[in-house]
């Protein structure tokens, strides 16, 4: 499974280059996390993480979206505990769930490289769950996005089950009436939801995940009418009906490797790739938020940072509820 995932990631990377918080559910009333958690036990932690992340980005820009997605896929399923990193011989861990099969291998590789470097300096001190959070912040910052101080002190999970994933993550075909309850269950406001969706300003998506919008939208209208017609035509050229499983296109056709607010202006012009993207503008419940973020990158950045901090507090494990893994892909025992 891991070999297949890496192969898909490499092929997708080629296509990517070619085709242009008050307390809430899952968060304790008083979070046990602290920004200075490792100041004495691993003083150079952030510098180590930044250096490894930058080295990985220099090797492939796929590192940016792949690492960022890991935070969301980890935290929304059972909390921010690095359960998504576990490699199972039986293919029954979180990463093996159908909703996680699209996660690019470069994200996992980034975390594993960082963990190896951190262990050389601070063995047995820093959790994989905290490394995911730091690496995600750094890929955003290194792609010209906002910087924020990451709260730390998480421990790694002792379980990882594919069966826990179903129904916890948004689907590309969802509408706002389906997205909103999913995010609300984790304590996110509409502003949080739209801000987190802005992570799609970087990265790529496999054609198979949105083909229905291009060719089988309805019996009377083959192509989703909310698509900009010119954009739909470009996508059809890149993604024919019989497109291969590994072919992918940029989520943001304007600035695909820069973390900015172009995602929202794209939605205003019908350039949302997934249904779950474009409906944020076509639905009156969220249209105003899209307009706000399209009109001010600072508004978006501020909202994104606030939502990421909330996200990072979900289901935090401490003490005997978790461990500090020696390697991120396997439990200590």
Binding-site residue numbers for Ca(2+) are 74, 77, 79, 81, 94, 201, 252, 260
CA 64 to chain centre: 9
The question of whether 73 is a catalytic residue gets the answer yes
CA geometry: angle 112, 114, 116, nearest 5 deg: 70
Residue among 32, 225, 239, 56 nearest 136 (CA): 56
Catalytic residue among 73, 137, 213, 325: 73
> CA-CA distance, 103 to 109, in Å (whole number)?
11
107 HSE (CA, 13 A, CB side): 27
Cα dihedral across residues 28, 95, 88, 58: positive or negative? negative
Residue among 305, 306, 299 nearest 24 (CA): 306
**Helices (H), ranges, the chain:** 2-18, 45-59, 63-75, 105-121, 128-142, 176-184, 190-197, 211-215, 229-238, 262-268, 275-282, 284-295, 297-311
Binding-site residue numbers are 74, 77, 79, 81, 94, 170, 200-201, 252, 260
* DSSP bridge partners of 327: 330
Token readout for 222 is: 């083959």
> CA-CA distance, 112 to 206, in Å (whole number)?
24
Binding-site residue numbers for heme b are 200
CA geometry: angle 153, 158, 163, nearest 5 deg: 120
Residue labelled with tokens 């220099």: 58
Residues 6+ apart with CB under 8 A from 185: 25
Instruction: Kindly report the number of other CB atoms within 10 A of residue 324's CB atom.
Output: 16
Residues annotated as part of the active site = 73
């Amino acid at each position: 499974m891991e070999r297949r995932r890496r192969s898909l990631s490499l092929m997708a990377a080629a296509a990517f280059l070619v085709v242009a918080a008050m307390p809430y559910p899952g968060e304790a009333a008083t979070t046990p996390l602290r920004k200075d958690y490792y100041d004495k036990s691993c003083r150079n932690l952030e510098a180590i993480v930044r250096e490894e992340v930058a080295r990985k980005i220099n090797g492939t820009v796929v590192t940016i979206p792949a690492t960022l997605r890991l935070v969301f896929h980890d935290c929304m399923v059972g909390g921010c505990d690095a359960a998504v990193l576990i490699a199972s011989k039986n293919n029954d861990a979180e990463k093996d769930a159908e909703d996680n099969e699209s996660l690019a291998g470069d994200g996992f590789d980034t975390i594993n490289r960082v963990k190896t470097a951190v262990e050389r300096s601070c063995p047995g001190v820093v959790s994989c769950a905290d490394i995911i959070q730091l690496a995600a912040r750094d890929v955003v910052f290194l792609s010209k996005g906002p910087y924020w101080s990451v709260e730390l002190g998480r421990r790694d999970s002792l379980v990882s089950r594919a069966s826990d994933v179903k129904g916890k993550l948004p689907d590309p075909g969802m509408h706002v009436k389906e997205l909103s309850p999913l995010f609300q269950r984790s304590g996110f406001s509409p502003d949080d939801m739209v801000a987190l969706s802005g992570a799609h300003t970087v990265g790529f998506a496999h054609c198979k995940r949105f083909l229905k919008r291009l060719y089988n939208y309805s019996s009377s209208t083959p192509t989703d009418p909310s698509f900009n017609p010119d954009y739909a035509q470009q996508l059809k050229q890149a993604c024919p009906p019989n497109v291969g499983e590994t072919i992918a296109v940029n989520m943001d056709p304007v600035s695909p490797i820069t973390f900015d607010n172009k995602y929202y202006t794209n939605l205003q012009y019908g350039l949302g790739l997934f249904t779950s993207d474009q409906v944020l503008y076509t639905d009156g419940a969220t249209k105003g938020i899209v307009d706000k973020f399209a009109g001010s990158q600072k508004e978006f950045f501020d909202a994104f940072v606030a939502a990421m901090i909330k996200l990072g507090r979900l289901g935090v494990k401490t003490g005997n509820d978790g461990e500090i893994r020696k390697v991120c892909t396997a439990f200590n025992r």
